[in-house]
Amino acid sequence: MGQNTVHEDQKYIDALLQNDGKRIQEIYSKFAPKVIGFVKQNSGDEDAAKDLIQEVIMIIYDQAKTKNLKLSCPFDAYFFMICKRKWYSKLKKNAKEQVTNEPYSGFDSETLHEQVQETEQFDTKMQLYKELFQKLGDTCKEILQLSFGSFSMEEIANQLDISYAYARKKKSLCIGQLTKWVQASPLYKQLKEI
């Protein structure tokens, strides 16, 4: 993807990165109506559209923050395509049908296709991380949550009544445990092969 030039709509991604309220409102007023219309036509209501839009903006924000997302296609098409495909996969899940990967169709350009695919893979991987995080023990969860939140390692050690050295060691062992689970996951292997 590196060779593609950055699209002028990168300004919307930058707005998310800077938590620029005005621009984010603009994202809603410009791009939400189309998504709402689509969801309503496909067995959903306004509340479902609201949740979907918020979920997709969070995914794009997360990708922008951690993976330096650079937009090489128009935001409109990119955003709508992700919302649409995510909505279809939700409908399928609810219908308890077997979830098969939607063929990547209906893209008007190869750049859009690549960009959407990249975001979806990012989303799948994050879902996997979150799911495995939930399987950790309570101490691990607490240490990780607090140490990456606004707490210092000293405060955490104090709160959990453990030594500073142990808290530090435990933190890396907990991430190590997650690493092992992630590596053993078939889904992760699939993602790596793409």
* Residues near other proteins (CB under 8 A): 16, 19, 21, 24-25, 28-29, 32, 46, 50, 53-54, 57-58, 61-62, 65-66, 126, 129-130, 133, 144-146, 148-152, 155, 158-159, 168-169, 171-173, 175-176, 178-180, 182-183
CA 94, CA 36: separation in Å to the nearest integer? 19
Find the shortest distance in angstroms from Cβ 98 to other proteins: 28
Nearer CB in complex with other proteins: 97/193: 193
- Write down the least CB distance from residue 106 to other proteins, Å: 27
Closer to other proteins by Cβ: residue 47 or 97: 47
Judged by CB, which is closer to other proteins: 110, or 154? Answer: 154
Closest approach, Cβ 23 to other proteins, in A, equals: 10
The conformation of residue 4, written as its DSSP 8-state character, comes to S
- Count Cα neighbours of 150 within 13 Å in the Cβ-side half-sphere: 0
Question: Closest Cα to residue 6, out of 159, 115, 82?
Answer: 115
In angstroms, what is the minimal distance from the CB of 182 to other proteins? Answer: 6
Amino acid making up residue 18? Q
Closest CA to 75 of 87, 57, 88, 49: 57
Q: Which is nearer to other proteins, 49 or 116 (CB)?
A: 49
Residue 73: CB minimum distance to other proteins, A? 23
The alpha carbon torsion through 170, 174, 180, 181 (nearest 10 deg) reads 150
Q: By the 8 A CB rule, do 52 and 65 touch?
A: no
Alpha helices in 68-152 (DSSP H): 75-94, 110-134, 138-148
Q: Choose between 96 and 192: whose C-beta lies nearer to other proteins.
A: 192
How many CB atoms are located within 10 Å of the residue 60 CB? 22
